[in-house]
């Protein structure tokens, strides 16, 4: 996006990409369909030490700009859920093609298999040293944009290059961690989750920093699904998360209504009308599921209410960078101009995208940040 926008302004850029093709993460994003923006994107869906930092970039490049940019180049969007926009074709490669075609038309050169090893400051700019097919190549440039992504999924080309280079230039890094990542359960509880593997339930998941209403998915090692990925970005090791497995309803009231009509129905049969039978059965360790609704005591009702609306989980950890969709933390926003994303201490050096401490929620927000930061940098090159 940065190279394309720079091209629109008549500025020449050279993209150095260590993979043999560009856009690897775009190609796998959204299950190969690329959720390229979110219609409801606003700075509040982004985590950063400075929650105001992204406002300038998002004012300069809005969601409407993303939508019309892609429409101009033949990508109609369709909303799947919660504002998530995907190409009508359902093909992430169409998004990559927009960029590669435009780079081609605008004369912006893309050099693949070009592994950047270091960037050094010189009297009139920078010396960039990269390796291509085992050969070291040096080039001079007045300005450098680092859009080297975050740490997730090394086999797709992820490196710590952005962080390493920022450190080398004396820029502060906000601690990094996997985000939008499944959470693991170990020990004696693991078996309980394992038996439910594959079950998905619409829930509210929260902690004291955030709350999300989406599905959770049980897996043989713990919890996944959109609501879990979302809360993982706000979770720290050792903390609890809370799950309401029947959000926006009151299980006590529902049971009371039901038992007036069907007092002989067992709790198991009743819960099986709300959840899968498997899930209802799995509650046997916690609730008297064989009891008739009519015979449930007030204490039983209280326990049911607690379990359904305040299920407390202490994850053992997360699945790490191999399974994370993004990295939390990164180059500190204190080090960058919010208007241009230029490093305050190093004129001519810019950081954009995931390597900056701006991390979006699940749902197209991270690409919106990538496009916006690319646009903003291009205006200032
Ligand atoms: C499985 C998965 C699904 C996702 N789905 C979505 C989604 O649907 N919607 C959404 O908004 N976000 C999604 N994301 C997040 C999104 O892909 C990233 O936030 C986004 O790609 C970040 O863009 P970027 O340009 O900063 O970095 P990247 O897209 O990671 O690009 C950085 C590039 O730099 C290259 N590079 C790194 N080091 C060097 C070096 N030393 N020399 C040369 N090149 C180097 C890498 O090879 C890479 O191609 C998903 C992420 C994953 C992992």
The three-state (H, E, C) secondary structure of 289-307, written as one string: CCCEHHHCCHHHHHHHHHH
Which atom from ligand 1 is nearest to the alpha carbon of 149? 27
Phi then psi for 255, rounded to 5 degrees? -65, -40
Q: Are 238 and 279 in contact (CB under 8 A)?
A: no
Which two tokens mark 138? 């040096």
Residue whose Cα lies nearest atom 27 of ligand 1: it is: 149
Which residues make beta-bridge pairs with 211?
206
For ligand 1, mutation pick of 325, 352, 357, 360 (most atoms within 8 Å of CB): 325
The answer, yes or no, to whether any atom of ligand 1 lies below 6 A from the CB of 25, is yes
Using the mean position of ligand 1's atoms as its centre, give its distance from the Cα of residue 90 in Å. 19
Q: How many whole angstroms from 360 Cα to the centroid of ligand 1?
A: 13
pLDDT in the model for residue 157 = 86
Sheet holding 135-141, edge to edge: 115-122, 125-132, 135-141
Give the Å distances, CA to CA, from 77 to 18, 101, 188. 30, 19, 46
Distance CA 4, CA 141 (A): 18
Ligand 1 pocket mutation pick from 148, 327, 362 by most atoms within 8 angstroms of CB: 148
CB 356 within 8 A of CB 181: no
DSSP codes, 168-215 = HTT--EEEEEEES--EE--GGGHHHHHHTTT-EEEEEEE-SS-EEEEE
338 lines ligand 1 (CB under 6 A): no
DSSP lists the bridge partners of residue 328 as: 177
CA-to-CA distance for 67 and 200, rounded, in angstroms?
A: 32
DSSP assigned state of 314: -
List phi, psi (to 5°) of 285: -70, -15
pTM tops 0.85, yes or no? yes
Nearest-CA residue for ligand 1 atom 51 is: 325
Ligand 1 geometric centre to CA of 81 (Å): 23
Per-residue pLDDT at 230 = 98
Q: d(Cα 82, Cα 298) in Å, to the nearest integer?
A: 38
CB atoms within 10 A of CB 20: 9
367 lines ligand 1 (CB under 6 A): yes
The label of the residue with tokens 């989750």 reads 193
Please give the chain's pLDDT, 381 residues, in tens. 999 999 999 999 999 999 999 999 999 999 999 999 999 999 999 999 999 999 999 999 999 999 999 999 999 999 999 999 999 999 999 999 999 999 999 999 999 999 999 999 999 999 999 999 999 999 999 999 999 999 999 988 899 999 999 999 999 999 999 999 999 999 989 999 999 999 999 999 999 999 999 999 999 999 999 999 999 999 999 999 999 999 999 999 999 999 999 999 999 999 999 999 999 999 999 999 999 999 999 999 999 999 999 999 999 999 999 999 999 999 999 999 999 999 999 999 999 999 999 999 999 999 999 999 999 999 999
377 ligand 1 Cβ < 6 A: no
Domains of the chain (ranges plus CATH)? 2-178+326-380 (3.50.50.60), 182-319 (2.40.30.10)
Strand partners, 349: 144
- Answer yes or no: are the C-beta atoms of 311 and 246 closer than 8 Å: no
Q: Tell me, in angstroms, the distance from the centre of ligand 1 to residue 327's CA.
A: 10
Nearest to 296 by CA among 247, 334, 258, 338: 258
């Amino acid at each position: 996006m940065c190279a394309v926008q720079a091209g629109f302004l008549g500025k020449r850029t050279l993209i150095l990409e260590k993979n043999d093709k560009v856009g690897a993460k775009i190609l796998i994003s959204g299950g190969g369909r690329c959720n390229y923006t979110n219609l409801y994107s606003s700075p509040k869906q982004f985590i950063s030490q400075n929650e105001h930092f992204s406002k300038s970039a998002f004012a300069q490049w809005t969601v409407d700009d993303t939508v019309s940019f892609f429409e101009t180049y033949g990508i109609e969007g369709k909303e799947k859920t919660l504002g998530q926009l995907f190409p009508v074709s359902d093909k992430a490669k169409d998004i990559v093609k927009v960029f590669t075609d435009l780079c081609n038309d605008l004369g912006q050169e893309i050099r693949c298999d070009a592994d950047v090893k270091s960037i050094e400051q010189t009297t009139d700019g920078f010396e960039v040293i990269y390796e291509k097919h085992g050969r070291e190549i040096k080039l001079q440039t007045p300005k450098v944009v680092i859009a080297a992504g975050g740490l997730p999924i090394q086999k797709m080309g992820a490196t710590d290059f952005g962080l390493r280079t920022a450190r080398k230039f004396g820029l502060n890094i906000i601690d990094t961690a996997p985000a939008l990542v499944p959470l693991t359960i170990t020990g004696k509880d693991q078996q309980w989750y394992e038996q439910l593997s594959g079950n998905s339930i619409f829930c509210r998941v929260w902690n004291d920093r955030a709350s999300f209403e989406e599905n959770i998915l049980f897996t043989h090692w713990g919890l996944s699904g959109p609501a879990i990925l979302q809360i993982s970005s706000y979770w720290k090791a050792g903390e609890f998360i809370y799950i309401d497995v029947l959000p926006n309803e009151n299980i006590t009231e529902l049971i009371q209504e039901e038992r007036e009509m069907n007092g002989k129905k067992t709790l198991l049969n009743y819960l099986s009308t709300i959840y899968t039978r498997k899930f209802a059965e799995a509650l046997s360790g916690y609730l008297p599921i064989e009891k008739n609704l009519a015979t449930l005591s007030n204490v039983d009702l209280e326990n049911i209410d607690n379990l359904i609306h305040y299920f407390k989980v202490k994850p053992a950890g997360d699945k790490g960078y191999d399974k994370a969709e993004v990295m939390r933390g990164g180059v500190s926003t204190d080090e960058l101009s919010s208007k241009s994303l230029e490093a305050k201490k190093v004129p001519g050096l810019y950081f954009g995208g995931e390597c900056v401490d701006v991390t979006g929620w699940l749902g197209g927000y991270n690409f919106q940040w990538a496009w916006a930061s690319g646009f903003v940098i291009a205006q200032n090159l």
